[in-house]
């Protein structure tokens, strides 16, 4: 079966898809500069407040696993609207929370907004064929990448001017705006509003047995995992190892987003011409080489913000080339299960990233420098090359076999 592509005049706008993913990206990192102040306000250790990041990612992994099949059954539109409604209520809860425990509970519920990451890709795959989907996903994620580039800086300014709650109020305001945009512009793109659950279950084994699906998913998981490890360890490296102020760390945080935006642009421009697999392989090689160079410089004693964050900018470039194509690849295995494939792949990426972020935090200490974090990032980036080569080898075997 093939997806029932929606007519162009009935498709959601690119602005809508970017906004759906953008609010999710914003909610993940706008408040990071406020974590120390939040810990003081709630009277808890900083490690407790860090759960607002790791627990958020853990819940996101589970939700991304579930929201794809649910959207395949009920359709993309009602699931996205429902998720944003829950997100808005949870955001209100974070603002009114009387204790750290209640705050963390509502923060975990806020993770429902990551449904947008999964379903925006599924909507694209509903609308266009696989190779064109890689290009369109590149444009969607290029716009989305601008949000994490500026969100920590905005969060820092809001915190200094109004306190940490201002960041969560901003999440609520933008969430309301995107909910209204989706209500009026997000048309249903899934076939006939969704696929019967019995039909989904009957086709799951095909997806589970696909070497191509697992190869694309592992490539995406490992590549994204390097970024999540960076997200967990970079504040420590910036402040403790490189002796930067929180504001300076916020500015340097733009480095991977700039690279990611450029990589998304290259995906959008050249995926159709070069092909998904070659773009994925090129992206994984760029990630691995740049991080390896930074690791060698760090071990030689050449620690500097330019070396560390510069290498991460190239990692962002590689991810921007790899992820749109890997996501399109995993969803092209069974187009009628695009939501399920996107959800499973997204869940793997976030769960793996949460584990790698925790691993990076466990190995980082005052005398270690950036080496432990860079080592983890190099290993997983190199593994993404192997996953990509596996996909290419399997496809050549299929072609050779007739």
Does residue 49 sit in helix, strand or coil?
helix
The C-alpha atoms of residue 129 and residue 335 are separated, in whole angstroms, by 9
Count how many domains the chain has.
1
- Helix 211-236 to helix 338-363 angle, to the nearest 10 degrees? 40
Query: CB of 311 within 8 A of CB of 371?
Result: no
Q: Would you state the torsion angle of the CA atoms of residues 386, 279, 268, 5, taken in this order, to the nearest 10 degrees?
A: -70
What is the predicted pLDDT for the residue at 3?
A: 46
Instruction: List C-alpha distances in Å: 199 to 69, 228, 240, 284, 336.
Output: 11, 35, 54, 35, 10
Confidence of residue 57 (pLDDT cuts 50, 70, 90): confident
Question: DSSP character for 10?
Answer: G
Per-residue exposure over 125-137, b if at least 16 CB sit within 10 Å of its own CB, e if not: bbbbebbbbbbbb
Q: How far apart are CA 157 and CA 164, in angstroms?
A: 10
The distance between the two most distant Cα atoms of the chain, rounded to a whole number of Å, is 66
| pLDDT at 201 (0 to 100) | 59
The DSSP 8-state label assigned to residue 13 in this structure reads: P
Choose from 21-25, 230-234, 352-356 the range with maximum mean pLDDT.
21-25
Task: Say if 66 falls within a structural domain.
Answer: yes
Helix or strand (DSSP H, E) at 167: helix 165-185
Whether 1 is in a domain gets the answer no
Nearest 5°: phi and psi at 103? Answer: -60, -50
Query: Residue 356 falls within a domain, yes or no?
Result: yes
Weakest-pLDDT range from 73-77, 105-109, 295-299? 73-77
What's the pLDDT tens digit per position in 184-193? 988 777 665 5
Q: What is the mean pLDDT of residues 60-70?
A: 77
Which pLDDT belongs to residue 198?
A: 61
Say if 366 falls within a structural domain.
Answer: yes
Instruction: Place 133 in a pLDDT band, splitting at 50, 70 and 90.
Output: low
CA–CA separation, 265 and 137 (whole Å): 10
CATH number of the domain encompassing residue 228 = 1.20.1250.20
Given a contact cutoff of 8 angstroms between Cβ atoms, the answer to whether 212 and 331 are in contact is no
pLDDT at 4 over 50: no
Structural domain includes residue 328: yes
For residues 116 and 147, is the Cβ–Cβ distance under 8 A? no
In a domain, 37, yes or no: yes
Residue 380 contacts residue 222 (beta carbons within 8 Å): yes
Domain assignment present for 2: no
The pLDDT of 228-235, averaged and rounded, is 76
Label residue 369 by pLDDT band (50, 70, 90): confident
Confirm whether 3 is domain-assigned: no
What domain range includes position 218? 8-400
In 3D space, the residue among 110, 112, 235 whose CA is nearest the CA of residue 168 turns out to be 110
Handedness of CA 113, 115, 117, 119 (dihedral sign): negative
Contact (CB, 8 A) for 114 and 64:
yes
| Distance, CA of 255 to CA of 64 (rounded, Å) | 27
Entry field: residues in the chain: 402
d(CA 19, CA 57): 20
Residue among 234, 401, 244 at smallest CA distance from 316? 234
pTM of the model: 0.72
């Amino acid at each position: 079966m093939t997806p029932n592509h929606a007519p162009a005049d009935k498709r959601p706008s690119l602005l809508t898809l970017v906004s759906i993913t953008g609010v999710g990206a914003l909610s993940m990192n706008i408040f990071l500069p406020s974590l120390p102040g939040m810990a003081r306000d709630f009277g808890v250790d900083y490690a407790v407040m860090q759960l607002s990041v790791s627990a958020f990612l853990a819940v996101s992994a589970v939700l991304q696993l579930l929201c794809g099949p649910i959207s395949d059954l009920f359709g993309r539109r009602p699931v996205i609207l429902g998720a944003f409604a829950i997100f808005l209520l949870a955001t209100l809860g974070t603002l009114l929370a009387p204790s750290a425990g209640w705050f963390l509970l509502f923060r975990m519920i806020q993770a429902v907004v990551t449904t947008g990451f999964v379903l925006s890709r599924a909507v694209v795959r509903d609308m266009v064929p696989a190779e064109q989907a890689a290009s369109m996903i590149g444009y969607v994620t290029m716009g989305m990448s601008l949000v994490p580039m500026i969100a920590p800086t905005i969060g820092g300014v809001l915190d200094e001017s109004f306190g940490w709650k201002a960041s969560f109020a901003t999440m609520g305001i933008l969430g309301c705006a995107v909910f209204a945009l989706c209500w009026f512009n997000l048309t249903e793109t899934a076939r006939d509003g969704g696929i019967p659950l019995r039909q989904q279950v009957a086709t799951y084994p095909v997806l589970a047995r696909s070497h191509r699906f697992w190869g694309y998913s592992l490539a995406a998981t490992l590549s994204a995992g390097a970024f999540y490890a960076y997200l967990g360890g970079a504040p420590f490296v910036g402040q403790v190892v490189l002796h930067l102020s929180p504001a300076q760390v916020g500015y340097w945080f733009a480095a991977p987003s700039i690279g990611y935006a450029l990589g998304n642009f290259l995906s959008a421009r050249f995926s159709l011409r070069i092909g998904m697999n070659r773009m994925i392989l090129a992206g994984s090689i760029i990630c691995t080489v740049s991080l390896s160079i930074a690791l060698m410089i760090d071990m030689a004693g050449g620690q500097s913000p330019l070396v560390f964050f510069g290498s991460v900018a190239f990692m962002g470039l590689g991810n921007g080339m790899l992820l749109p194509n890997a996501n399109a690849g995993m969803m092209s295995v069974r187009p009628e299960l695009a939501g399920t494939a996107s959800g499973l792949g997204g869940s793997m990426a976030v769960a793996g990233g949460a584990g790698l972020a925790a691993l990076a935090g466990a190995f980082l200490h005052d005398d270690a420098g950036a080496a432990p974090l860079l080592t983890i990032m190099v290993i997983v980036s190199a593994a993404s090359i192997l996953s990509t080569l596996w996909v290419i080898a399997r496809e050549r075997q299929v072609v050779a076999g007739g």
